[in-house]
Amino acid sequence: MKPTTRPARPQFSSGPCAKRPGWSLAGLEKALLGRSHRSGPAKGKLQAVIEGSRKLLGIPDDYRLAIVPASDTGAVEMALWSLLGARGVDVLAWESFGQGWLSDIEGQLKLEDVRGLTANYGELPDLAEADFRRDVVFAWNGTTSGVRVPDAAWIPEEREGLAICDATSAVFAMEVPFEKLDVVTWSWQKVLGGEAAHGMLALSPRAVERLETFAPPRPLPKIFRMTKKGKLIEGLFQGATINTPSMLAVEDVLDALPWAEEIGGLPALIERSEANLACVNDWVARTAWVDFLAQEPATRSCTSICLQIVDPWFLDQSQEERASAAKKIGSLLDSEGVAFDINSYKEAPPGLRIWGGATVETADIQSLLPWLDWAFEKLKAA
Ligand SMILES: Cc1ncc(COP(=O)(O)O)c(C=O)c1O
């Protein structure tokens, strides 16, 4: 039977993600447009983003936090190009983004002492293999496979290398213990539902020490440079961005941060996202045609919830036919106005990916699930 209730908001994309509940363009009216980003009021807004993020995430006082160019990718690349090469590197890669960092470190930075600790979609590499005498690079949440690290127990308090974590689809929805990480990056368009534009980069005192004592043996474009004459550029961490930021995007994140505080801060954001995962989990448990891509329950992401189709009819088809069938579910629900952008990532096994970050209402996930059953049955019958 075709369901009758549609999700109030069909935005389930994994980035840019749904805006916060209650968001409207009116929230951007105070944006400081047409003013220099170096003016006092603009710098005040940039600083407010830094301080608001620090407070909400509970980032230690001695960590530096900057707004940087080119979104999360910019923040990660800045860290990799500025910091790596002082010692060997372990790169954990279990889906597309981790694989991308691994291939950049090997193929672009051309570092010699690199170990790739890899796993297939749905699995994690053996975290115990990561050697923290070396630098360790990993994504907290693999957005394209819906597999996250279960905790930080595998990261030692005392480590010689730096723990460099791409946490863009984890922060604001998962416990990310900054004290155990030396570099943490994210962008605004994920769990906060902000506008895509800039990246955030958090550095531990040890990461700063590395920046000030290690001169990478490679040219660094201006857009990546965090030191001048061997000293950290302090202004970068006080709102003096390297280049011109979008004050409209800044205003949008300044709209999202107070919302997050008002609903109860980080614990409430995490609770909202976990409730979304729990809702999908209940449905998967009673639905024969679908399963999580993440094998191990403790590794299932509460943000990028990735599902595979396990119905025998589907599994009997070729890879190409499966990919096309899974896409048809997405297009059918898109044309019904029920769900946008829920196809799995292009390089991931064919299936569905539903964003369950904190801006998504559990009621909307609840309304979506019968539509998935309907679309699958319709496809199979055809
Ligand atoms: C784990 C991870 N890393 C990096 C990125 C790239 O982020 P951005 O487009 O903000 O640079 C994404 C985007 O989905 C991601 O999920």
Specify the pLDDT at position 187.
98
Q: Find out whether the beta carbon of 166 lies less than 6 Å from any atom of ligand 1.
A: yes
For residues 54-79, average pLDDT:
98
| Residue carrying structure tokens 């396990």 | 310
**CB distance 258 to 251 below 8 Å:** no
* Beta strands 183-187 and 163-166, pairing class: parallel
Among residues 169, 168, 192, 173, which one has the least CA distance to residue 19?
Answer: 192
Distance between Cα 379 and ligand 1 center (Å): 31
pLDDT of 143-198, one tens digit each? Answer: 999 999 999 999 999 999 999 999 999 999 999 999 999 999 999 999 999 999 99
The atom of ligand 1 lying closest to the CA of 189 is 10
Backbone phi and psi for residue 367, each to the nearest 5 degrees, phi listed first: -70, -30
Distance between Cα 287 and ligand 1 center (Å): 31
For 265, the token pair is 């801060």
Q: Find out whether the beta carbon of 15 lies less than 6 Å from any atom of ligand 1.
A: yes
pLDDT of 332-373, one tens digit each? Answer: 999 999 999 999 998 899 999 999 999 999 999 999 999 999
Distance between Cα 173 and ligand 1 center (Å): 15
Residue 84 C-beta-side C-alpha neighbours within 13 Å: 28
The atom of ligand 1 lying closest to the CA of 142 is 1
The atom of ligand 1 lying closest to the CA of 167 is 1
**CB distance 79 to 204 below 8 Å:** no
* Beta strands 89-93 and 135-139, pairing class: parallel
The atom of ligand 1 lying closest to the CA of 140 is 1
| CB-count exposure of residue 226 (10 Å: 0-12, 13-18, 19+) | buried
Q: 314 pLDDT band (50/70/90 cuts)?
A: very high
